[in-house]
Structure 1
Amino acid sequence: MYVYILTNQTQTVLYIGVTNDLTRRLYEHSSGRGDEGKFTGRYQTDLLVYFEIAPDATQAIAREKQLKGWTRRKKDALVTAFNPTWQAIDLETWEG
């Protein structure tokens, strides 16, 4: 299971989610980019800047809820520690 954070081009919005297949989920987010009815479409949050692996769904969901409860400053610090330049992560080439 993965807990992940997406942002938009201007890094003004963060989206936190959980999935068991990060590659598939990123594709789904990018495919729905123009879908104004969904958060990721409305705010065009399709750039992966952070992810972590959780051992199971229960722990992943708990971590997602924890991160969603954090302040923006604390979330920014988490992303920066993991991905200092906030470059969009390409799972094929990521060496982080």
Structure 2
Amino acid sequence: MQKGGLVYIVCSPDKNVLYTGVTSDLEGRIWKHKSKFYENSFTAKYNCVMLVWYKYFDHIEEAIAEEKRIKAGSRKKKEALITGFNYEWRDLWDDIKDIRTY
């Protein structure tokens, strides 16, 4: 049985730094970003703790391909993606924190 996956974007509170990632457990991964679980990671260093965009895929391979496509794009394209999904760039943590993706 294949497991689905999610692509997500987190940002710093001042919205100056964006990070795109992929996971099969969005709640767990965002909790790790927020708690700075990996203290030497890019997201901990640049305080990327706000979930501002995510998209689910039925297959993790699709999510990985989309993550690569987004990462290769410009910041302007990432901003448009976020704004189209979350106009106010609010932290979506409260929306997903009690949802398991498996």
* Global fold match (TM > 0.5): yes
Q: Find runs of 4+ consecutive structure 1 residues off by over 4 angstroms.
A: none
Count of equivalent residues: 92
| Partner residue, 1:18 | 22
1:30 Cα deviation (Å)?
1.3
Could you tell me the TM-score, scaled by structure 1's length? Answer: 0.90
Give unmatched runs, 5+ long, in structure 1: none
CA distance in 1, matches of 2:37, 2:45: 8
**Relative contact order (alpha carbons < 8 A, sep ≥ 6): 1 or 2 greater?**
2
Identity %, equivalent residues: 38
Q: 1:63 aligns with which of 66, 74, 78?
A: 66
Structure 2 unaligned segments of length 5 or more: list them.
none
CA distance in 2 between counterparts of 1:42 and 1:19 reads 20
> What is the CA–CA distance in structure 1 between the aligned matches of 2:20 and 2:89, rounded to whole Å?
15
TM-score, normalisation: structure 2: 0.84
